Amino acid sequence: MLDMRFIRENPDLVKENIKKKFQDAKLALVDEAIDLDAALRAAISEGDDLRANRNKLSRQIGMLMGQAKKDPARAAEAEEVKKLVTAQAERLRELEEKAAQTREKLQQILYTIPQMIDPSVPIGPDDTHNVEVQRFGEPVVPDFPIPYHVDIMESFDGIDLDAAGRVSGNGFYYLLGDIARLHEAVLAYARDFMIDKGFTYVIPPFMIHGNVVQGVMSFPEMDAMMYKIEGEDLYLIGTSEHSMIGRFIDQVLPADKLPQTLTSYSPCFRKEKGAHGIEERGVYRIHQFEKQEMIVVCKPEDSPLWYDKLWQNSVELFRSLEIPVRQLECCSGDLADLKVKSCDIEAWSPRQQKYFEVCSCSNLGDAQARRLRIRYRDENGKTQLAHTLNNTCVAPPRMLIAFLENHLQADGSVTIPAVLQPYMGGKAVLVPKQK
């Protein structure tokens, strides 16, 4: 969310940013916001004048009533002033109501105008214009066919989609045996990996209030992702970023407490609207999964550095698991409205012979901090808005696809990298139960 003063003083820059995001339908909102802001400030100014005048008139009434004991004419004057006070009080109520309505309209528009993107963001209308920056590890296509990931899991008696369908419907799963253990091993390894990087491990609430949802994401994202608890002001989180950033709502943090570097575990719940191709079925695009996340709250001048550190953490983690990855810079049209800059880390799929997204790293600037009033006190004692960043550490159901495909052997077994073996009871290889 942009500062209204910035919009007022830089309307052309804000409009140009909207054009870069290919959201021309929102251009009129800039002028509308400026008009509403002018009306709001005028109503507030007139109201302040009326309040000041009311105090003056109240003193005048008291003086006239005191003089009325000696001069009856003063009583009539006092009555006239009382009528004026009553009229002004009615006008003040009208102004306060108008100000409240105008402020609400303005707030909704400010929630809708996108954040200013970083100058380095490539310009393009959708994800087909995202730009590959660099690759890490050599992608390999084995000389034997790679089965569909559900088939690999089934060879270990490791997944039951049919039972999940009967119990919960499409988009859910049972993981069993070695596959379930591998799922949890990856999460535990990612947790310890981030702790070793100096991040504080957190298990947050898995449900949050509506005002926190409104603070951490845009309305289109909210509608497409969030499940609401019926009859409650509570939403199931789509990622632990939501409750992790919400933790700092209305807080003023001491400068020496920044940066806050946190790694959080949570289940995640998403609607995932729309139909998807076969490669996005199975456990690729689902309603429920678990994830280890990275969160940073920092000073504005430090957020570019933390952005680079976060995505580099993902690369290092995946490479330690012997999975080739690449960094993909997200273009302007692919950025959610609160994001300043974002990149995806994509893992190599030997089956598809292409990369697919496994991590998303984002710098949101002061967008979430402004909505949630997350501030810090600088060295001069002045309060400033913090910056917030987030990045996926691992989301095992999707990450498992990359892991199984890249570690599958011709005989159907799956090798376990050395770093993961302690979390798998020392196992160096998983042997299928059926072929």
Q: Which residues pair with 293 in a beta bridge?
A: 264, 392
Find out whether 361 and 329 touch, Cβ atoms under 8 Å.
Answer: no
State the pLDDT at residue 90: 77
Query: 15 in helix, strand or coil?
Result: helix
d(CA 5, CA 393): 36
**Parallel, antiparallel, or unpaired for β 131-136 and 387-394?**
unpaired
**Parallel, antiparallel, or unpaired for β 387-394 and 383-385?**
unpaired
State the pLDDT at residue 435: 64
- HEC string of 400-425 equals HHHHHHHHECCCCCEECCCCCHHHHC
Phi first, then psi: give them for residue 354, nearest 5 degrees: -160, 170
- What residue ranges in 45-167 does DSSP mark as E strands? 131-136, 159-160
Pick the CATH number of 127-430 from 3.30.930.10, 3.40.640.10, 3.40.47.10, 3.40.50.2300: 3.30.930.10
Question: What is the share, in percent, of the chain residues with pLDDT greater than 90?
Answer: 77
Q: Where does CATH 1.10.287.40 sit in the chain?
A: 4-112
Q: Which two tokens stand for residue 178?
A: 């070695």
pLDDT, tens digit (0-9, with 9 covering 90-100), for 124-146 = 999 999 999 999 999 999 999 99
**Parallel, antiparallel, or unpaired for β 354-363 and 235-236?**
unpaired
d(CA 188, CA 201): 11
Cα–Cα distance list, 429 to 413, 416, 419, 424 (Å):
7, 5, 13, 10
- Assess whether pLDDT exceeds 50 at residue 279: no
Q: Which residues pair with 264 in a beta bridge?
A: 202, 293
State the pLDDT at residue 171: 87
Q: Which two tokens stand for residue 7?
A: 């919009």
Task: Concatenate the DSSP letters of all residues of 177-223 into one string.
Answer: HHHHHHHHHHHHHHHHHHHHTTPEEE---SEE-HHHHHHHS-HHHHH
Q: How many CA atoms lie within 13 A of 16 on its CB side?
A: 7
40 in the Ramachandran plot: left (φ > 0), alpha (ψ -120 to 50) or beta? alpha
Q: What is the DSSP letter of 23?
A: -
pLDDT, tens digit (0-9, with 9 covering 90-100), for 68-120 = 554 556 555 655 656 666 667 777 788 889 999 999 999 999 999 999 999 99
pLDDT, tens digit (0-9, with 9 covering 90-100), for 380-404 = 889 999 999 999 999 988 899 999 9
What is the chain's mean pLDDT, rounded?
A: 90
State the pLDDT at residue 85: 65
- Assess whether pLDDT exceeds 90 at residue 186: yes
Cα–Cα distance list, 119 to 16, 116, 127, 341 (Å):
12, 9, 18, 9
Q: How many CA atoms lie within 13 A of 160 on its CB side?
A: 9
pTM assigned to the model? 0.88
Q: Which two tokens stand for residue 76?
A: 């009539």
pLDDT, tens digit (0-9, with 9 covering 90-100), for 190-215 = 999 999 999 999 999 999 999 999 99
- Mean pLDDT computed over 314-342: 97
pLDDT, tens digit (0-9, with 9 covering 90-100), for 21-73 = 999 999 999 999 999 999 999 998 888 887 776 656 555 555 545 555 545 56
State the pLDDT at residue 82: 60
Q: How confident is the model at residue 276 (pLDDT cuts 50, 70, 90)?
A: very low
410 burial class (0-12, 13-18, 19+ CB within 10 angstroms)? exposed
State the pLDDT at residue 222: 78
**Parallel, antiparallel, or unpaired for β 200-202 and 260-269?**
parallel
- Assess whether pLDDT exceeds 80 at residue 153: yes
State the pLDDT at residue 54: 65
Q: Which two tokens stand for residue 365?
A: 């600037």
State the pLDDT at residue 94: 83
d(CA 253, CA 87): 45
Span 4-112: which CATH code? 1.10.287.40
Find out whether 29 and 37 touch, Cβ atoms under 8 Å.
Answer: no
366 burial class (0-12, 13-18, 19+ CB within 10 angstroms)? buried
Find out whether 115 and 338 touch, Cβ atoms under 8 Å.
Answer: yes
